[in-house]
Every structure is written in C-alpha cells, then in structure tokens.
Amino acid sequence: MSGSPPTPAGPLPGRPESYWMDTTPATSYAPLAEDIEVDVAVVGGGIAGLSTAWEAARRGRTVAVLEADRVAAGVTGYTTAKLSSLHSLVYEQLRSTRGPEAARLYARSQQEAVERVAAISTEIGVDCRLERAPAYTYTVLPERRDELRAEAAAAAEAGLPAEYTEATGLPFDVAGAVRVADQAQFHPREYLLALAEDLRARGGVVHERTRVTGLEEGAPCRVTAESGHTVTAKAVVVATHYPVFDRALLFARLSANRELVVAAPLAAGRDPRGMYITQDEGKRSVRTAPYGDGGRLLIVTGEGFTPGTGDAAAGFRALDAWMRERFDVGGTVYRWAAQDNSVTDGVPMVGPFHPGARNTYVATGFGGWGMSGGVMAGTLLSGLIDGEKSPWSDLYDPRRLLSTVREAPALLGQQAEVAKHFVGDRLKSSHVDSVDEIPAGSGAVVRVEGSRCAVHRDEDGALHAVSARCTHLGCLVAFNEAETTWECPCHGSRFATDGSVLQGPATRPLERRELPGS
C-alpha cells in the first residue's frame, strides 16, 4: 500500500459493490452452444472488446463476442469511468522518450475517442449520463509545480487545450495543476449494455459464460471454448484486459495494479465540478456522478497495490478517511476495486498480436485509462481488420521495440519483481503453520503433506482448499481478505475461494485439494 498514516480497524466502509454494477440490470446472453463461423471473433466483453465488435459490425462484418463471465462486468464494470485525453503526466514523458509527434498522435487518438463516445451515444440513443467536465492533474506539493508546468506545456504542444493553473474546484488548496477543458464522464455500463444490444441488432452475437482456452492462427483462425465448441473467424481480437494467451510474451512488458474505490453522497452545491487525479499521497482520483434526487456521488480512487501483495482492508479505510477529511460527504455507500495493466513504456499495446501474427490482434495495457483507450482500440482494430491503417497504428503497435533505453530499467525492475515472487514466495515460510490458525472469513497458504495449499475458512467455519499455484505460470497466490479472493502477485490473475477464475490471464481454475481428515 501507499505511505498513508495508519487507520483504525473496524468494519469496512460502504457496501462491497460497484455503483455502475448496482444501477444496471444483469445480463444473460447464452453461452456458446455450437460451432459457428463469423468474420470477426472478439474474445472479451469489456469496453475494448465491445467497442471493437460494434465498430466491425458497423462496417458490415459478422461478429461474435465471447465473454468468460458477463459483459461489462469485469474491469469495465469497476472503473471510475473518466473519458479524458489528459492521462496524468503522459505528455512530457512521451515528448521526451518518443518525440513530439508521438505525443501529438496520442493526444489526437485519445481526444477522438472521447468524442466518439459522445457521437455513438447520440447515434444509438442511449442516455449514459454523459457529462462534459474539465480534467485536472494536480499536486499539493510546491516542489512539483515545475513538473506540472512542463506537463501543461507538453500537452498544449500535443494539441490539447491544456493550461497550467493553481485554481480548481477542489475544497482544498493545490500547489499547481494541468487543466484540459471539455472532457467527459459517463456511466460505462449503461453505455456498453446499449452498445451490446445495438451490436445484436446489426447481426452480431454475444456469448457469455464462454471462456476461451485455445487459439489457432491462420486463414481462417479458430478459437476454442472450454466447452469444446469452436468459432472459426477471418480475424480474432484478444481483448481480455490481460491477454489470455502468452505466445506474444506481452506479459514481460505488462504489470498489474489494483486500486481501491470508495463512494459517498455529496450535495450538488459541493460538487468540485471536474475530474481530478494526483500522484501525491499514494495517488488519488476524484470525480462525481448523478445520484439520487438531484444529488451527486463522490467517487474517490487510490491506495494501489500489486494483486496478492497489499492490505486491501487497510487501504479502504485509509482512502475513506482521506475522503472524509477533505469533502463534506454523507455515509459511504459503496466500495470496490479496479485492476489495470500498464506497459513499461507507458503506451497501450493495440494492434497485431505478435511479429508473426496471422489475422490475430490484441488490445491491452491501458494503464488506468481504459475508457478512452478501449474506444480508441475499437476504431483502430476494426480498421486494421479491413486493411486500413490509422495515423497512430505505429504508436500503439504491440510489436514495437523498447522505445528507449529509459524503458529498460522499468522492464528489468518489473521482471525482478516477478522473479522475487516466483522464487522468493517458495522459500519463505507459510503465513500460518496449520489450518487451525486460520480464523473464520480469512485464508492463508499452508503446507499440507508437503504441498502448498490455499485454504479459506468461511464464516461458518468450513474449510475450502485449492492449489496455491496460479495456473498461469505457477506463482503462489495470496489471500485478499477484503475481497475474499486469491490473487497472483506475478501477473494479476484472481480466483474465487473455490478456485474458479475471476480474472485472467489464467484460464484454468486452481485445482481442488483434500485436507487430511476432511
């Protein structure tokens, strides 16, 4: 976790659910039940997958979306849903590492994605509570003012209406900020559920509870679901957030990060009227959404950690305390967590899956900016499938080499962290010596008859044991008590206490284990 001050123990704030999930209906698209053939198969039903599928269908392609769980219910259902081309401090970094033209292309592609959501919302007639608002990257530290001034200059040079300011709508003083006007915020599930229905009206099909476990590239390609049914397609797009196939070795350049979210009602007159983010204080992100009868819901994000390593319970309490110290809010009504993947050079990977790719494409590594990034991916990939290369295809191409020597330290550091968990977690002792030490509602990795087991004791005292080895690449999982999940610290796979996959890149469940005497 971050360096936030200790917060008292006690009940966690709010109800453990995403506001976006709680205020939209559940979906129930049928699983794939037969072999089918389409022009484009999209693996993953989040914003990148659904945007790509919709754009391809709009171009006249036959499309199938294959989602392991429910559409718009994974990462997209737990986002903060900012639609912005101001992505923290990306422009000065891009200008320094890849040149001014790369920064301009990034700005143009992301801003066009913001406008694309507004245009599509109007075209398909969905009220997704889209609101225009300025975006701010701010600091409370005077020594960082020059960094913010440089970012404002780089963003303006890239073509955005960016300016440096020391005035914001926040109820506390800031030392400096970058401001970009006319950005947007929306309800992501209302938008995407309407997009899915419009996709079906255009002849596309959506299959939920259809986990894809196999991919054959070629002309045509073929994807296989765990049920054994196949989809034959002229093109396949892997949009599973973290790619579920490792043939491209993209995982070597991706790192997973989990961030916590708390939300509380706020009087409309106290709305800060903007979207805010800072890297100070362990990172904080702030926005509001319509809530109740004319009120607002304040949504605060932060306290990030690598899955399987952080104390989520302490993080939720720290984040809630920060919100209450700075905003006049009511009782916390929601808490949830979002997971993102970042690329070592800071730019998402969207395009051909790998150097020898045959009609296969990928979208990943949005680094916390998946709303604009996912929509951008939809337009870029649907064009590539039709043989049309966008002006920014090279910028996002997953086959690009390390952009500069400045990326190498990040890459080496990331792989050292993975190696630490892969080897070190096997050398250190278990969290507890026996299952008898595990309290109700908790879990731990325990050595049982020579093998490491991930053991959870539910609130009724019953024990549930599974293998502690992640089925992706074999790292040892750790228990997230606040979310009651097993998480892999190497590449971010997450599992339920019964071993079932909640989030990839793993595609196979943790194996069940029998405990002595059970």
State yes or no: pLDDT of 426 exceeds 50. no
State yes or no: pLDDT of 128 exceeds 50. yes
Query: For residues 407 and 213, which has the higher predicted lDDT (pLDDT)?
Result: 213
Domains identified in the chain and CATH numbers? 408-518 (2.102.10.10)
CB burial of residue 162 (10 Å; 0-12, 13-18, 19+): buried
CA distance 60 to 399: 28
pLDDT-derived band at 450, boundaries 50, 70, 90 = low
pLDDT-derived band at 422, boundaries 50, 70, 90 = very low
Calculate what percentage of the chain has a pLDDT beyond 70.
Answer: 90
| HEC secondary structure over 1-21 | CCCCCCCCCCCCCCEECCHHH
State yes or no: pLDDT of 82 exceeds 60. yes
CA distance 453 to 444: 8
What is the model's pTM? 0.84
Residues 431-440: tens digit of each pLDDT: 556 777 788 7
Residue 387 neighbours by CB distance under 10 Å: 6
Q: In angstroms, how far is CA 195 from the centroid of its own chain?
A: 19
Average pLDDT, the chain: 89
State yes or no: pLDDT of 425 exceeds 80. no
State yes or no: pLDDT of 108 exceeds 80. yes
Average pLDDT of span 237-262: 84
Lowest mean pLDDT among 7-11, 188-192, 415-419, 434-438: 415-419
Lowest mean pLDDT among 209-213, 421-425, 491-495, 509-513: 421-425
Maximum C-alpha span of the chain: 68
Cα-only R_g, the chain: 22
Q: What was the pLDDT predicted at 414?
A: 42
